[in-house]
Structure 1
Amino acid sequence: MAMLKVVKPSEHQEEEPRRLRRSGRWKLWLTVIVLLVAMLSVLFFRSSLSRIQQIEVEGNVYIDRSAVIEAAELSIGSHFFASSAASVEQRIVANLNAVEHAKVEKRFPGTIRLIVDEYDPVAYELLDDGSVQALLGSGAEIPLKDRGLPAEKPMLTEWEGKEEEKIKLCRVLASVPDSLLSDLSEITPTPTESYPDKIRLYTRSRFEVETTVSLLKDKLEILGGITETQSPGFIDLLEADYFMPFVNAENESEEGEQAP
């Protein structure tokens, strides 16, 4: 008589279906979670929470608030996460030559804060129509409107049509300590074939000075030493430095007239 042999399933054979069932459940849950996140993301990006609701501007003195926002390429209602803070900062500096640095802070939900650091004014310019504008260290021109004129900044005259040279001058003035500029009252261009960037300076201490834009930074300390120790006169600060008091020049002129 034949005997039937009962074969029990091994533990390995029993574990395999369980693993398959668990794996199937995890895949199902993962699919549900992904779909849920996708649905919530769609709802979020369509809601007002994902939009810019308020734009704050700080630090602007010479530039209008609207100009800063326009330079940042932002607007109320646009996507809050569309641009990174770094990219907005770069746009502000690139689009506004009056701004030296910019910082952007994002505060969820919907508030963006634009903080600008403008170049300081280094001079003022008298225009042909009699109006006055401020010139910043970058060369940016800012109409003063109702703003007053801070003291101890030189006035630029006869610079219209010489924009490139004027920008170079402003950058030089921005690199010089205020203490060396406080005596300068007026700067005019006097280009020559030998010195295309030649300028004439008038000081509050009544000196008349000729130099060039490229030499100005290095010559200002020499100028300060002369104005503090000499009586008013003419100073030539080109390749060689030369000083002549106005009194001596007048005496020489009178002696020449009296000579037979």
Structure 2
Amino acid sequence: MADHMLYAEYLTPAKERGSRGRWIWWVLACSLLAGALYLVVQVVLLPRLRITRIILEGDLPASSEVILERAGLDVGHPILFTVRTEEIRRRLEAWPVVAHVEVEKVFPGTLRISLASRTPLVYLLVDRDGVLVPAVCDEEGVVFLAGKQVPAVDLPVLSGVRFSKFMVGARVPEAVRAFLKDVDELRKTSPRTLGLISEFRLVARGEYLFDIQVFFRGYRVPVRFEGHLTEEKVHYALMILDVLSEEGLLEGMSEVDFRGGRITYTKRSGV
């Protein structure tokens, strides 16, 4: 019995030593395997996982060189770790002319970038130190082109907009954005109707309220509205202007007023 106990006490440390030895060999093997995998990734895989092709899609009026510079990219970048699609998207969407960006990695070495440019809705004439500067904005009220960059497009003019600080990338005041949504809806539902309008002029009635003077092509006398601009209002105003013109009554008017559910007019001074 005593011999059996001595034998058990002798065996127990040996088992523990064997277990510790196997554990050390297991850790060492895992470390060697991890090191080998790291070398394979660094030496074999990463040099192959580089951008060899960049596909640019969309209607952005800019050269590929300008777009890639804005994105901070060039062919040959490692694609696996250093190219972060979300960062590229943020960089490009910070560009005022860009409305929306999608960036996608296509392995093994392609990066696809889809860009949608902002669509001009109206021209703006902005007073900058006594000089009228032309600009364009979209339905969200973002000014994305100004000065010599403004394209020659047949758009209505929006005047009377005031900016606290005018620059490319600025947005029109919030009160004006709801009106731009009306103009955009008119463009979508009846572009021919919008094409009859040459200018919208905002006339302030307080800090956040304004009336809208609408100038129609072929008529010198503007029409004043309040509230939302709708296709029905525009067609009704045109019908009234046609009647007044046929009756020879427009010559002495400076404005036709449709506010308050009534039609009134203002005579020109000296008439």
TM-score, reference length from structure 1? 0.64
Separation in 1, partners of 2:158, 2:120: 16
Separation in 1, partners of 2:210, 2:65: 37
Where in structure 2 are there 5+ consecutive unaligned residues? 127-133, 245-254
2:216 alignment counterpart: 203
Where in structure 1 are there 5+ consecutive unaligned residues? none
1:18 alignment counterpart: 18
Could you say what secondary structure the match of 2:143 adopts?
coil
The correspondence for 2:144, drawn from 116, 135, 140, is 140
C-alpha displacement of 1:125: 6.5
1:30 alignment counterpart: 30
The correspondence for 2:263, drawn from 210, 221, 243, is 243
1:1-150 equivalence runs, <5 A:
8=7, 12-44=12-44, 48-80=47-79, 81-93=81-93, 95-124=94-123, 135-137=137-139, 138-141=142-145, 143=149, 149=153
1:186 corresponds to which letter in structure 2?
Answer: S
Deviations 1:103-148 (A, max 9, x none): 1100122211111223333135699xxxx97643333228476xx8
**Contact 2:105 2:111 survives alignment (8 Å):** yes
Separation in 1, partners of 2:55, 2:157: 35
Could you say what secondary structure the match of 2:100 adopts?
strand
C-alpha displacement of 1:42: 2.9
1:187 corresponds to which letter in structure 2?
Answer: E
Separation in 2, partners of 1:194, 1:8: 102
Percentage of identical aligned residues: 16
1:183 alignment counterpart: 193
1:33 corresponds to which letter in structure 2?
Answer: L
Distance change >3 Å, CA 92–CA 53, structure 1 → 2: same
Distance change >3 Å, CA 225–CA 113, structure 1 → 2: same
C-alpha displacement of 1:50: 3.8
Q: Which is further off, 172-181 or 156-165?
A: 156-165
Number of aligned residues: 234
C-alpha displacement of 1:221: 5.0
What value does the CA root-mean-square deviation take over the aligned residues? 4.5
**Contact 1:180 1:221 survives alignment (8 Å):** yes
1:18 corresponds to which letter in structure 2?
Answer: G
C-alpha displacement of 1:33: 1.1
2:130 alignment counterpart: none
Could you say what secondary structure the match of 2:229 adopts?
helix
TM-score, reference length from structure 2? 0.62
Deviations 1:192-231 (A, max 9, x none): 686896664222484722358xx5xx13356235236534
C-alpha displacement of 1:20: 2.5
**Contact 1:92 1:102 survives alignment (8 Å):** yes
1:76 corresponds to which letter in structure 2?
Answer: V
**Contact 1:183 1:203 survives alignment (8 Å):** no
Could you say what secondary structure the match of 2:35 adopts?
helix
Separation in 1, partners of 2:173, 2:224: 16
Deviations 1:36-95 (A, max 9, x none): 1232233257x54243222211112434433332332222233322242222212211x2
Separation in 1, partners of 2:161, 2:264: 31
Could you say what secondary structure the match of 2:230 adopts?
helix
C-alpha displacement of 1:102: 1.2
